[in-house]
């Protein structure tokens, strides 16, 4: 079995190979580590690798398989976004501020993957403190889009996205505050799910905007995402916003037929601002759903346009407070030279944070400051309710909502980095679900030809009602039974891939 074939397998197939002992976890892990060695220097998907720790977990997984008590993900190498604290691992959140931080404890998500016997392959690159849509704000450098190395993978989970697309892991975790799983999934051509807020514990996941942050799976297919969700989701008493619900089997509904499914298409998602080529791919995908027996209903989410202004008040406000703990006192970057306490604070934070993080801290501080709170923060929270109510109305008419996950395909590195407002518009279709707390996913739906002749993936976004993840995965899985977009992988040996 050739390696290139092996890396394309589904999680279920990896599990079958491992449990039938056709391959060991150590062998599988080494295969991925080798691939990482080969491709990561150019793609830069990983910030931290620790072969010793990784292989120790693989060995333990092999022992568990030998003992006959393997779980579905036992022995499978998973990449973890560097936003999750993992005990003994460098955990940086893409920031110079935490470049030397070794997490002394495990995030709940890490604990769950460890308990499932999964192998932690490494910590993936990301926009600094998850603030960005291109992975260009990382202190550890940008990440290449495996489909076209001159382009960005999207963000903020850009490292996980590139790792999944380039087959540098079996699957990965991401987090999504305004689209950070779905937009990179769209730009890199794989399946990513942001669950309902509160389904996955945030404990140990470094906070960006606490009321919006939610972790989720990034994998090749809906079927893989379901297996990842079976591990990641669940109540955690250490997170006050974690939802105490009965454990769910996200794979259980995958095979249900879609006949009668009502798909809502919000007209605001197809208006000005959407690339025509992306629009066409989405239309084709909708046509495919019609063939599967779905009914298409035009709906309206009238406050979609306000989601960006609201988000850029609420997220920076929460972030400005969440990032106050990075003061150079107990851990993290402390300036090499300072005169007094005030100087130590101001220099440590000026040096430790990158430009975009500082911008958002300043915006957040401004909108919360005396005299502006009502006009900005309170107003944004009121409009947040209007946006959430739009969805309540919409779900009276349909079962799922579909549209593009991002307004364009992957853009060129450097293209938007100096224009924050243009960058923020990348999340126009994804942000409103975070504000409402709803689940959303991006599913590969085809490719679009760029002006300079590159073939770039396009993602179809599926938005579900609260706790409808299993249904959404079913809707995506049925589509993936009749299409093969999700099985396509970039050819890393293309001439440009070696640059």
Partner 1 sequence: MALSIEDIKKVAHLARIEISDTDVNATLIKLTGILGLIEQMQAVDTTGIVPMSHSQELSQRLRDDVVTKTNQRDEFQKNAPLLGNHSTQQAIADGLYLVPKVIE
Partner 2 sequence: MEWEVVIGLETHTQLQTNTKIFSGASVRYGAEPNTQACEVSLALPGVLPVLNKQAVHCAIKFGLAINAEIAPRSVFARKNYFYPDLPKGYQISQFELPVVGKGAVSIQVPAQGKLAAYEKVVNITRAHLEEDAGKSVHGAVEGMSGIDLNRAGTPLLEIVTEPDMRSAAEAVAYAKKLHELVQWIGICDGNMQEGSFRCDVNVSVRPKGSEALGTRREIKNLNSFKFMTQAIEYETRWQIETLEDGGKIQQATVLFNPDTGETRAMRSKEEANDYRYFPDPDLLPLIITEADKARISAAMPELPEAMKARLEVQYGLSSYDANALTTSRDLADYFVATVNAGAGPKQVANWVMGSISAKLNTEDKNINASPISAQQLAQLLKRIADGTISNNAAKQVFEAMWCAEGDVDSIIVAKGLKQESDSVAIEAIIDEVLAANAAMVEEFKAGKEKAFNALVGQAMKASKGKANPAQVNDILKKKLTA
Active site residues: 81, 156, 180
How many residues comprise the chain? 499
Q: How many amino acids of this chain bind partner 2 (CB under 8 A)?
A: 43
Nearer to partner 1 among residue 56 and residue 392 (C-beta): 392
Q: Which is nearer to partner 1, 12 or 379 (CB)?
A: 379
Terminal-residue alpha carbon distance, the chain: 28
In angstroms, give the least distance from the CB of 234 to partner 1.
Answer: 15
Output the CA torsion sign for 85, 91, 97, 101: positive
User: Which one of partner 1, partner 2, none is in contact with 140 (Cβ closer than 5 to 8 A by kind)?
Assistant: none
22: exposed, middle or buried (Cβ count in 10 Å: 0-12, 13-18, 19+) = exposed
Could you say which of partner 2, partner 1, none residue 56 binds, taking C-beta under 5 to 8 angstroms by partner kind? Answer: none
Q: Is residue 206 close enough to count as binding partner 2 by CB under 8 A? A: yes
Nearer to partner 1, 48 or 163 (CB): 48
Q: Which is nearer to partner 2, 237 or 496 (CB)?
A: 237
- 107 makes contact, choosing from partner 2, partner 1, none, with CB < 5 to 8 Å by partner type, with partner 2
* Subset of 297-356 contacting partner 2 (CB under 8 A): 317-318, 320-321, 323-325, 327, 329-331, 341, 345
**What whole-number distance in Å separates Cα of residue 352 and Cα of residue 407?**
32
| Distance (Å) of CA 397 to CA 262, 263, 307, 390, 405 | 8, 9, 22, 12, 21
CA 452/CA 412 separation, integer angstroms: 11
Asked whether 176 and 219 are in contact (CB, 8 A), the reply is no
CA–CA separation, 459 and 346 (whole Å) = 42
Residue 468, interface with partner 2 (CB under 8 A)? no
The residue (of 121 and 205) whose beta carbon lies closer to partner 2 is 205
Residues 361-400 that bind partner 2 (CB under 8 A): 365, 368-370, 373, 377
- Around Cβ 498, how many Cβ atoms within 10 Å? 10
Rounded Cα–Cα distance for residues 421 and 309 (Å): 10
Helix (H) or strand (E) holding 225: helix 222-232
Q: Closest CB to partner 1 among 16 and 239?
A: 239
Among 187, 207, 438, 458, binds partner 2 (CB under 8 A): 207
Q: With binding defined as CB under 8 A, does residue 100 bind partner 2?
A: no
Among partner 1, partner 2, none, residue 203 binds (CB under 5-8 Å by kind): partner 2
Candidates 24, 29, 54, 91; binder of partner 2 (CB under 8 A) is: 91
Residues whose CB falls within 8 Å of the CB of residue 342, separated by 6 or more in sequence, listed in order: none
Binding mask 420-449 for partner 2 (x = CB under 8 A): ------------------------------
Q: Is 87 exposed, middle or buried (0-12, 13-18, 19+ CB in 10 A)?
A: middle
* Residues lying near partner 2 in the complex (CB under 8 A): 84-85, 91, 93, 98, 101, 103-105, 107, 202-207, 209-211, 237-241, 317-318, 320-321, 323-325, 327, 329-331, 341, 345, 365, 368-370, 373, 377
């Amino acid at each position: 079995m050739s390696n290139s074939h092996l890396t394309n397998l589904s999680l279920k197939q990896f599990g079958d190979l491992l449990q039938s002992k056709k391959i060991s976890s150590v062998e599988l892990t080494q295969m991925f580590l080798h691939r990482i060695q080969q491709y990561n220097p150019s793609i830069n998907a990983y910030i931290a690798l620790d072969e010793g720790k990784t292989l120790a977990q693989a060995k333990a997984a092999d022992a568990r398989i030998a003992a006959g008590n393997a779980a579905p993900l036992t022995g499978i190498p998973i990449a973890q976004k560097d936003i999750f604290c993992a005990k003994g691992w460098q955990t940086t959140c893409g920031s110079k501020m935490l470049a030397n931080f070794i997490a002394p404890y495990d995030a709940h998500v890490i604990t769950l993957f460890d308990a499932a016997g999964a192998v932690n392959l490494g910590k993936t690159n990301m926009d600094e403190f998850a603030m960005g849509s291109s992975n260009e704000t990382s202190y550890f450098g940008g990440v290449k889009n495996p489909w076209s190395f001159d382009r960005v993978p999207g963000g903020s989970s850009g490292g996980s996205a590139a790792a999944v697309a380039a087959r540098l892991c079996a699957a990965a975790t991401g987090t999504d505050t305004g689209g950070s799983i779905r937009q990179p999934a769209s730009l890199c051509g794989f399946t990513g799910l942001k669950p309902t807020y509160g389904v996955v514990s945030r404990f140990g996941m470094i906070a960006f905007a606490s009321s919006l942050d939610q972790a989720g799976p990034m994998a090749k297919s809906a079927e893989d995402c379901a297996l990842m969700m079976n591990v990641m989701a669940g109540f955690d008493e250490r997170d006050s916003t974690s939802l105490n619900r009965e454990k769910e089997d996200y794979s259980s509904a995958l095979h249900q037929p879609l006949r009668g499914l009502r798909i809502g298409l919000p007209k605001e998602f197809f208006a000005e601002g959407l690339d025509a080529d992306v629009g066409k791919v989405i239309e084709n995908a909708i046509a495919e759903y019609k063939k599967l027996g779905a009914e298409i209903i035009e709906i309206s989410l009238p406050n979609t346009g306000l989601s960006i202004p609201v988000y850029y008040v609420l997220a920076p406000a929460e972030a400005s407070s969440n990032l106050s703990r990075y003061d150079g006192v107990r851990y993290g970057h402390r300036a090499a030279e300072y005169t007094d306490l005030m100087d130590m604070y101001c220099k440590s934070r000026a040096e430790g944070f990158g430009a975009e993080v500082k911008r958002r801290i300043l915006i957040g501080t401004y909108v919360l400051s005396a005299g502006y709170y009502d006009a900005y923060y309170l107003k944004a929270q009121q409009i947040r309710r209007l946006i959430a109510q739009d969805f309540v109305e919409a779900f009276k008419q349909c079962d799922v909502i579909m549209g593009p996950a991002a307004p364009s395909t992957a853009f060129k590195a450097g293209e938007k980095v100096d224009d924050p407002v243009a960058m923020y518009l990348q999340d126009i279709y994804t942000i409103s679900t975070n504000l409402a707390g709803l689940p959303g996913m991006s599913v590969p739906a085809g490719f679009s030809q760029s002006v300079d002749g590159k073939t770039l993936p396009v993602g179809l976004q599926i938005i579900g009602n609260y706790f409808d993840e299993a249904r959404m995965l079913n809707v995506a899985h049925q589509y993936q039974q009749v299409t093969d977009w999700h099985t396509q992988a970039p050819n890393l040996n293309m001439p440009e891939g070696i640059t």
